[in-house]
């Protein structure tokens, strides 16, 4: 336990101080493997426990009642089973984390290959990296909607590809079948380290820089400025609410998933089409965040849509993505 602790402490603490993406990636793997190794700690405990039983049997001269012996055997058996179950669960969880981390990264690399990597620099020199995917069979004479897919974050801010992880709507809408059914520009911004999309109190935001980058695309052919949409999960859900509350003139619709914002701002978005989602059992983002915004919008005269999954927690994207009529509803929205 001491050895594993000595490995985990620097592996977790160093990335908080370092901006070296490669080193931080290695550090993340060390944390995953060390955590999985922690699930095997029960093995030396069992070995030590068995050795002490042998000593007890040979050194203890006091007679033990048969009933007590049976009780001890039962207790030992239960302790062994419980230890094996808990240790096995921790080990499986550690391996699962490693496996899905690799799987998600492979999917993200494939997603990034479809997109064009771009850089926006404002008049002050502030830089925003983002990825843009044009509609399938793009015709510059036509007008297409723009979907802003906000990643939920958590990846190194300087890793342009890993930053795309969590841009769930972009991943869904970039499939061949959906690019044919819903031709649109897909916009995925990168979030610098220590920043967010807004909506979270006392947390730095790059919202204004993203708005500038979106506006800069208006000079390019094909984007319908009256059909710009924003969506995101978790931190991206907060950002989706924040984007429409601060720039209701820019976005015709939003799909905030597991997010929230200040209900006092709801009066600004009564004319924005909103379909929000949340899990009633969400332990990461309180469901009150969505409930309060929806309630405030309705009180202000808006007509938002809201779907709450009663028995679900934070990971509800799959249920959201297959909600009947969701994407037809989104692409039908237009600024008045």
Q: What is the pLDDT at residue 70?
A: 72
As a whole number of Å, the end-to-end CA separation of the chain is 62
Q: Which two tokens stand for residue 40?
A: 């095997």
Paired strand residues for 189 = 130
In the CATH scheme, what architecture does the domain 115-331 have?
3-Layer(aba) Sandwich (3.40)
Task: Give the C-alpha separation, 206 to 151, whole Å.
Answer: 13
Average confidence (pLDDT) over 104-112? 78
- Contact assessment for residue 150 and residue 236, using Cβ atoms and an 8 Å cutoff: yes
Give SS3 for 214: helix
Q: What is the pLDDT at residue 21?
A: 47
Residue 104 region, left (φ>0) first, then alpha (ψ -120 to 50), else beta?
Answer: alpha
Please indicate whether residue 268 or residue 161 has the higher confidence score (pLDDT).
268
Q: Among 49, 53, 221, 195, which Cα is nearest to 134's?
A: 221
Please indicate whether residue 18 or residue 198 has the higher confidence score (pLDDT).
198
Please indicate whether residue 303 or residue 34 has the higher confidence score (pLDDT).
303
**Cut 0.75: pTM above it:** no
- State pLDDT tens for residues 289-309: 999 999 999 999 999 999 999
- Contact assessment for residue 202 and residue 220, using Cβ atoms and an 8 Å cutoff: no
- Percent above pLDDT 90 for the chain: 52
Please determine, for residue 138, whether its predicted confidence score (pLDDT) is greater than 60.
yes
- Contact assessment for residue 185 and residue 133, using Cβ atoms and an 8 Å cutoff: yes
Most confident among 32-41, 42-51, 117-126, 264-273 (mean pLDDT): 264-273
Please indicate whether residue 98 or residue 36 has the higher confidence score (pLDDT).
36
Most confident among 20-24, 141-145, 164-168, 204-208 (mean pLDDT): 141-145
Please indicate whether residue 111 or residue 182 has the higher confidence score (pLDDT).
182
- State pLDDT tens for residues 154-190: 555 456 777 787 889 999 999 999 999 999 999 999 9
For the chain, the structural domain boundaries read 2-105, 115-331
Give SS3 for 243: helix
Please determine, for residue 102, whether its predicted confidence score (pLDDT) is greater than 80.
no
Question: What are the start-end ranges of the H helices in 18-167?
Answer: 21-38, 42-59, 66-114
Parallel/antiparallel/unpaired status of strands 273-279 and 305-309: parallel
Window from 54-58, 86-90, 166-170, 187-191 with minimum mean pLDDT: 54-58
């Amino acid at each position: 336990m001491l050895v594993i602790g000595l490995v985990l402490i620097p592996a977790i603490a160093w990335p908080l101080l370092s901006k070296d993406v490669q080193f931080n990636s290695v550090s993340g793997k060390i944390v995953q493997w060390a955590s999985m190794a922690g699930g095997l700690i029960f093995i030396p405990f069992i070995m030590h426990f068995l050795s002490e039983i042998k000593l007890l049997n040979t050194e203890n001269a006091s007679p033990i009642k048969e009933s007590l012996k049976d009780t001890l055997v039962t207790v030992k058996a239960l302790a062994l089973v419980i230890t094996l179950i808990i240790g096995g669960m921790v080990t499986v969880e550690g391996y699962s984390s490693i496996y899905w981390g690799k799987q998600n990264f492979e999917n993200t690399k494939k997603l990034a290959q479809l997109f064009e990597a771009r850089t926006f620099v404002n008049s002050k020199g502030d830089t925003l990296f983002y990825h843009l995917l044009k509609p399938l069979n793009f015709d510059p004479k036509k007008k297409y909607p723009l979907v802003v897919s906000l990643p939920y974050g958590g990846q190194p801010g300087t890793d342009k590809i890993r930053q795309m992880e969590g841009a769930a709507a972009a991943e869904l809408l970039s499939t061949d079948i959906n690019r044919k059914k819903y031709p649109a520009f897909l916009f995925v911004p990168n979030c610098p380290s220590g920043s967010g999309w807004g909506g979270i109190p006392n947390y730095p935001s790059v919202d204004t820089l993203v708005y500038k980058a979106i506006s800069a695309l208006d000079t390019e052919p094909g984007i319908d400025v009256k059909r710009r949409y924003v969506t995101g999960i978790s931190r991206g859900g907060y950002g989706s609410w924040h984007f429409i509350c601060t720039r209701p003139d820019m976005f015709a619709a939003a799909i905030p998933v597991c997010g929230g914002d200040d209900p006092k701002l709801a009066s600004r978005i009564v004319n924005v089409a909103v379909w929000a989602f949340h899990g009633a059992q969400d332990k990461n983002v309180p469901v009150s965040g969505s409930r309060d915004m929806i309630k405030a919008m309705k009180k202000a005269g808006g007509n938002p849509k809201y779907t709450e999954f009663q028995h679900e927690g934070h990971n509800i994207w799959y249920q959201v993505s297959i909600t009947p009529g969701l994407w037809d509803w989104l692409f039908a929205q237009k600024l008045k």
